[in-house]
Chains A and B, each alone.
Chain A
Amino acid sequence: MKQKLLSLFFVLTCLVGVTFAQNRQVSGRVTSAGDGSPLSGVSVAIVGTSNATQTDGSGNYSIQVLGNDASLVFSYVGFNSQRIAVGSRSVVNVQLVSDEETLDEVVVTGYSTVSKLKSTIATSVVDAEALNNTTLPDVNQMLQGNASGVTASANSGQPGSRTEVRIRGIGSISASSSPLYVLDGVIMTNGDLTQNTPTQDVISSLNPADIENITVLKDAAATAIYGARGANGVIVITTKSGQAGQSNITLNAKFGGGDVAGKIDLMNSSQLLSYQRELMRTAGMSESDILERRPDMLAGNNTNWYDEAFQSTKNQTYNLSASGGNEKTQYFGSGEYFDQKGGLVGSHFKRYGARLNVDHKLSDKFDLSFKLNGSYTDQRSANAGNGYASPLLQMFFNTPYVPAYNADGSLSDGFSSGQPGTSGYAPFGNIPATYRPTLMGGNFMHTIEHDYNFNNNLYNSFNGAFGWNIIDGLRLVVRGNAEMINVEERVWWDPIGYNGRNYDGLLQNSNVKNTNLLTNQLLTYNKTFEGGHSLNLLLGNEFQKNDYRWTYMASQGFASSELQQPGVAAKPLDVDGDREQFAFHSVFLNANYDFDAKYFVGASIRRDGSSRFPKDSRYGTFYSGSAAWLISSEQFLENVSWINSLKLRTSYGRMGNADFLFTNRNYPFNALYRFDAVYNDESAAIASQVANPGFTWEKTKMFDVGIDFALFNGYLDGSVEFFDKRSEALILQAPLSGTTGFSTINSNIGSILNQGWEVTLGSTPIKNENFSWNISGNFSTLKNEVLSLVNDNPITPASNTNQRIEVGHSIASWYMQEWAGVNPDNGAPQWYDADGNLTSTYSQAARRYVGTALPKITGGLTNRLSYKDIDLSFLISFSAGNKALNRTRQYWENDGNSPNYNFGVDAVNRWQNPGDISDKPKAEWNNGSLSNSISTRYLEYLDYARLRNVRLGYNLPKTVLEKIRASQIKIYAQAENLITLTGYKGFDPDVNTAPLVPTSTSSVAVANSGVDFFRYPTAKIITFGVTASF
């Protein structure tokens, strides 16, 4: 079997022949598009007649056709039928594409394309249809539940926010655990490039509708050719290409809206009034004092801050794409507009994008392709939850007594003298000063009308490749890619708003420019020798350089809210900026050999160097070996009819990680003095980093073994595999004694284990003329354990002091005081002390390991049903075994420790009289019991199952389509995050649990890391759409 290996995902089309007489013979060969194997028993029929034949054992057929207007239909169970106009040809070869996710799918490894049947590597493939099933701007979001071993969760519900993707667990502490992203054969930039925006992800610049498929590379054999940066897995994204002979214009329009998923019930003013009075009574205040401090008139106003903070989300998407071409040139072009308003007021995301992919064959020897992509995004970010002016924080902190509007109907700003929300508000004048209800950060409704945080992202990438078929089987591809990203950020604090009042108006402008240049040269050799030997060799060389520059300026003193330019400001406040670069260089060799398409062996080796390491330890060598055995091709299984395909594969390899997350990530080994400090108008130099001349790559060793199978003629297929991933020489900012003048030293010490099972199962229980039902699911388990650390001393991350990293425990282990319920005799809160006894004194409570933030089981279930022209699909994703710290609830369930906030309605179900059994302790004004301090009381299970996606579609019947010459028109309705089953009391159980680097200064409000601190929740969205193809 000859196998063609290309560096692009490319489908061969039919050849053009010569016409002869009217009544003539047309013949050809039908093969499978995935691996080129011949298909026998394919029905070949002439449209409009009853003439039909079948392909023979070699896939050949021959049939008589009349004239030049005949069309042939090729159909075969398990494959998409094709209808081809014969025209004047006499030879028509056809490649049928499988319509199920069986072993015949194609796997793109970034440098090459290979049939899954022949591959020895562990991958998951997410196809275009699954990718377009969400209305989120970010491609990463679509991975959740669709690929085993992959978890994806967003830092926040802000449209455009950063999504943290993890493949097979967390393998690093101070280095990134994010996978590498490869787009059309080149490494692309991902992550948050902004300087002054709460959260953003470059990948939201990519139009998901442009994507043909995403292949997730998971094991050592697949990722080792990325050597240095393959330790966390690789996400390979391939954009669409045109197909010769098939012109197509597709229009996709969708629009919809929704609300925040999840709800928390807060008190209204009469409920709060009686509750706060109870708190005071319990504290022993006299009735007259209580009435003076909380008079009846307070219940007269009931501002629902919760409703004011949330808005309905709205989204619309318009996408137009055209593709086509002939044998020489194929193209794919698209343009799109995407617009989404987020669930929190003052947040939205818009994107305008265009793409053109062209493949051109100059001759049999030379071909070239280029891909141009440009997009412009416009994001307005809601204030991050940790700022006082944030709507999320205020909806809990503001009491409903305080009006949001002035008597004259205008919006009050909440801080100017005498305004509602200030201590000088006249109607509250009779209440003693320290008891007057006030607003903490002004009135956010007013702030949002005047302040904003915008960022605009201009993303351009030019990807060009030149291919040369040197001799038969030997091909050279030279590729170059330039990716230029320009981010402009603008934060405006109006002089009349709460934030800007101290500055007389503040304007912050940042400009970020990131240039990423990459070139690689790949020499591939494919040859099949006599005797069933097949060999593929890949030799490559790659160089990448990235340049990140940013400037920032802040200016203050604005006379008018209308003029928002730095030149108008009275006074410059701050000027800042820097430049960072990094470069990687690698040479690699990949070899695959198979005998008789039954026994497969692969090996790869790669040598990488990076500017991030000192000269002496700059280069690292990475390798892998893999093998597979297609058991079902063996003699002894030939007669076992219920096994269609059975493959056993295994791999082992060593990969690396050089992607650090701490400050000075690009220059981590020198002893440095930074000069960005100033004292009394003079420049100052401060020691910023301790030297470590031996600093080098983080290494990961991964072992993988799996079985892929297809049984019962397509009724059951799937795979089961086991992986064991050990990361060593962990890059750790090893803690130092503070007395050294430094907090950490960048070192390579420590190791982590990630181990688990991944199971994928699929079945098509019913498939006939009218009705088909396909169900597939995946789940994976993860065991994570820290194996060694610096002197095996535990580390308390400064970024999340409620977790602890210690040998023998999972990396994101919770370490905190343990709640022991409420004492039924006196309502006092209880914790466990060091001896396991109950104590009501918080400082006596001992900290213990109480769970982990990393899920133990994750997975998804997809159902696809179709009946005639109607189809229904839904995706459920689930996750279990982990806990999150619900710090938002620490505030709305605080038992009176902070009596001036609003409370959850269920606060009334607390302990009140001796003998009461309740999970909420006695509440009193200014409690002092510290009952709402951090403890397992607020550590909740994050297990959930979520109906992430439901889609009902109707395809217009062929009769209608033919009249308007359309090839497909589909109308659909889709709902996302419709139902969530969970016991979690926060808004959204989809909290991002990936731990932060221990020394990170990021706020958990933005980066989560297992903590729900006023996290912007995700939305429930219902969308209607139309797709039309011509």
Chain B
Amino acid sequence: MKKFSKYILSSMIASALFLNGCSDALDLTPHNSLPEEDVVNETYARQLINGVYEQMQVVGYYGRDFQVVSEVTGDNVKITSANSNRFLNEFRYLWNPTLASQGTTWTALYKTIYGANVVINELPDTDDITPYKGEAYFLRALAHLDAARRFARPYTNVGANPSGANTGIPVVLETVKDPANFHPTRNTLAETYNAIIDDLKKAQDLAPDMSSGSAAVYRGSKDAATALLARVYLYMGRFDDCITEANKIISKYPLWTVGNIETAYSGNNTSEEIFSLKFKSTENRGADNFGQMYNDPDIGYGDIRPTDAFRSLLEDDDVRNGFIYAKDGAYFLNKFRGNTAEGADGLVDIKILRIAEIYLSRAEAYTELTSPNISSALADVNELRTNRGLDPIASMSLADLKEEIKTQRRLEFIGEGLRSTDIFRKNETRTIPDSDALPSADIAPDNFRVMFSIPIAEIDANPNMEPNPGYN
């Protein structure tokens, strides 16, 4: 027995020693990530702000879905029975809260906002970091505006009610520290837009400088904030403010000319661009690239095609006719053929803000003033027209001019995701009369579907989130 207990004892001691040594062996850390406390500091400031841009490039946001959905819900493009089963419910206004693309867009928007909040709130205010904060203010404003465009009514829409409860989206300005207990309510539409304006003003102060053709176009800048602010004021119906902002930058960025417009959308940091997201060949997602929904079936899916109404707006001399081409009896858009420098089909830089929009926004604002300034508006429209191969207009009535501005806006921005907001902020009805398009009902501006449904995952996880009315 003595021997026995000796053996037992020694094995137990051996195990105990082994145990102690083993305890440290259980401290393992990941190899592609760092813990938060090591990352949120000065050293990684540049990586942190880069992360915000990267977050915006996911397929569910500017990688494809956001602008495509904004476009197919408009009337410039249609989907026919020759399709790959994508975006059909969005085009036909037949979605419900479980529709996947809304869920991923919502998540992407708020991840962008979170990343921006970390840079704004958690980093010190040094000379190096302050411009990054400016960029972050701009990006935060952009994400909130995109969320408002998707999940709330346009400010001037007939059903908007800007001071009503739950008419906006949740505005998140602090870094969320306790996510498990964070259940924000929706702000009013007015609060949402005011928060966006505040952020853009701060960005105008702090963000880096920008000039036409500079590589700084791929990051936020003072001018980008100004351009976005002009867009926000236009959407709100604050026409004077819109003109003021537009005036700050309009002479800095030459429009694309008749000579260089054909390849402009596929090019890099071109003259018109004020803010774009850079997509490099490492972001080549093959069939999921942005342009592939538009490129004809030999190259991409070819699901989304220009409507007859759109094509009829083009005058013969318009250089933008070059964006449309016919193939095998159908018409396609080749604006997003693919960035020649990166060599991948459908992979283009997403040009979010460019000067053509400022010209048209300013023109629209001039016509909407209480005492409209027709000559200035006409001057802006003609500036665009001449650079698009069209003859300048000598004179025009106010009503005709408003129509012309609308037309130019459609022709210029097809595919760039502005149309549906434009239709409903001006209280028009969206209708697709093309016989070969998938049938859809007309959508009047007071239709509940002008706002997308809040995704089911959000409603389930956040009891304070008020869903949009009309969806069950």
Contact = CB atoms under 8 A, between A and B. Distances in A.
Interface stretch (B281-289, B316-324, B356-364): B281-289
B284 A618 contact: no
A900 B462 CA distance: 41
Interface in A767-826: 793-796, 798, 801
Interface stretch (B96-104, B196-204, B245-253, B374-382): B96-104
A422 B297 contact: yes
B293 to A, nearest CB: 14
Interface string A628-667: 0000000000000000000000000000000000001011
Interface stretch (B63-71, B325-333, B397-405): B325-333
Interface residues of A, number: 98
B127 interface: no
B393 interface: no
B55 interface: yes
A580 B92 contact: no
Nearest to A671: B36
Nearest to B93: A843
A796 B98 contact: yes
B123 to A, nearest CB: 12
A567 interface: no
Contacts of B100: 801
B119 to A, nearest CB: 11
Interface stretch (A365-373, A684-692, A854-862): A684-692
Nearest to A925: B81
A742 interface: yes
Contacts of A470: 7
B98 A747 contact: no
Contacts of A679: 50-51, 53-54, 57, 278
Interface stretch (A298-306, A315-323, A433-441, A943-951): A433-441
A735 B297 contact: no
Interface in A465-483: 470-471, 474, 476
A609 interface: yes
B32 A900 contact: no
Contacts of B4: 471, 474
A999 B462 CA distance: 17
Contact of B80 (A434, A587, A671, A675): A434
Given A417-B298, A675-B34, A900-B81, A687 B118 contact: yes
B472 A846 contact: yes
Contacts of B8: 523
Given A471-B4, A587-B15, A796 B110 contact: no
Interface string B290-332: 0000000111000000000000000000000000000111100
Interface stretch (B154-162, B258-266, B409-417, B451-459): B451-459
A758 B250 CA distance: 79
A474 B7 contact: yes
A913 interface: no
B218 interface: yes
B143 to A, nearest CB: 11
Contact of A682 (B15, B50, B117, B281): B50
B19 A675 contact: no
Contacts of A503: 286, 344
B73 to A, nearest CB: 16
A766 interface: no
Contacts of A691: 36
Nearest to A574: B282
Interface string B332-372: 00000000000111000000000000000000000000000
A682 B30 contact: no
Interface in A408-457: 415-417, 422-424, 432-436, 438, 440
B328 A433 contact: yes
Interface string B1-19: 0011001100100010011
B179 A740 contact: yes
Chain B interface residue number, banded: 35 or more
A670 B35 contact: yes
Interface stretch (B40-48, B206-214, B233-241, B422-430): B40-48
Given A423-B297, A471-B3, A434 B278 contact: no
B342 to A, nearest CB: 10
A476 B15 CA distance: 13
A578 B172 CA distance: 34
A581 B25 CA distance: 11
A444 to B, nearest CB: 16
A743 B111 CA distance: 9
Contact of B298 (A422, A543, A842): A422
A834 B471 CA distance: 12
A679 B350 CA distance: 14
Interface string B433-472: 0001011000000000000000111101111010000001
Contacts of A737: 179, 182-184, 458, 461-462, 465
B126 interface: no
B47 A685 contact: yes
Nearest to B441: A928
A308 B343 CA distance: 35
Contacts of B176: 739-741
Among the interface residues A573, A670, A681, A736, which one has the most CB atoms of the partner chain B within 10 A?
Answer: A736
Contact of A585 (B26, B179, B180, B287): B26
Given A678-B282, A736-B180, A834-B472, A502 B22 contact: no
Nearest to B169: A739
Given A609-B26, A679-B53, A690 B461 contact: no
B329 A798 contact: no
Given A682-B50, A684-B47, A738-B455, A674 B32 contact: yes
B106 interface: yes
A900 B82 contact: yes
A843 B470 CA distance: 10
A898 interface: yes
Contacts of A796: 98, 456-457, 460
A210 to B, nearest CB: 32
Among the interface residues B7, B100, B465, which one has the most CB atoms of the partner chain A within 10 A?
Answer: B7
A899 interface: yes
Nearest to B296: A423
B34 A672 contact: yes
A470 B5 CA distance: 12
Contacts of A900: 81-82
A676 interface: yes
A691 B176 CA distance: 12
B26 A618 contact: yes
A734 interface: yes
Nearest to B8: A523
A585 B117 CA distance: 41
Given A573-B284, A672-B30, A801-B100, A747 B35 contact: no
Nearest to B287: A502
Contact of B458 (A502, A670, A738): A738
B28 A673 contact: no
Nearest to B462: A737
Given A470-B7, A673-B44, A928-B439, 18 more contacts: A438-B82, A502-B345, A521-B15, A574-B282, A581-B28, A664-B33, A672-B33, A672-B36, A674-B32, A678-B282, A736-B179, A737-B458, A738-B458, A739-B113, A739-B458, A740-B110, A740-B179, A741-B110
20 contacts: A422-B297, A423-B82, A424-B298, A433-B82, A434-B82, A609-B22, A611-B28, A666-B30, A667-B30, A673-B40, A673-B51, A682-B47, A682-B50, A683-B50, A684-B47, A686-B115, A734-B180, A737-B182, A737-B183, A796-B457
The list of the 9 closest CB pairs from A to B, nearest first, reads A741-B114, A433-B329, A684-B50, A671-B36, A737-B462, A740-B179, A423-B328, A685-B47, A735-B461
Interface of A: 388, 415-417, 422-424, 432-436, 438, 440, 470-471, 474, 476, 502-503, 521, 523, 539, 541, 543, 545, 571, 573-574, 578-585, 587, 609-611, 615, 618, 664, 666-667, 670-691, 734-743, 745, 747, 793-796, 798, 801, 834, 842-844, 846, 898-900, 925-926, 928, 930
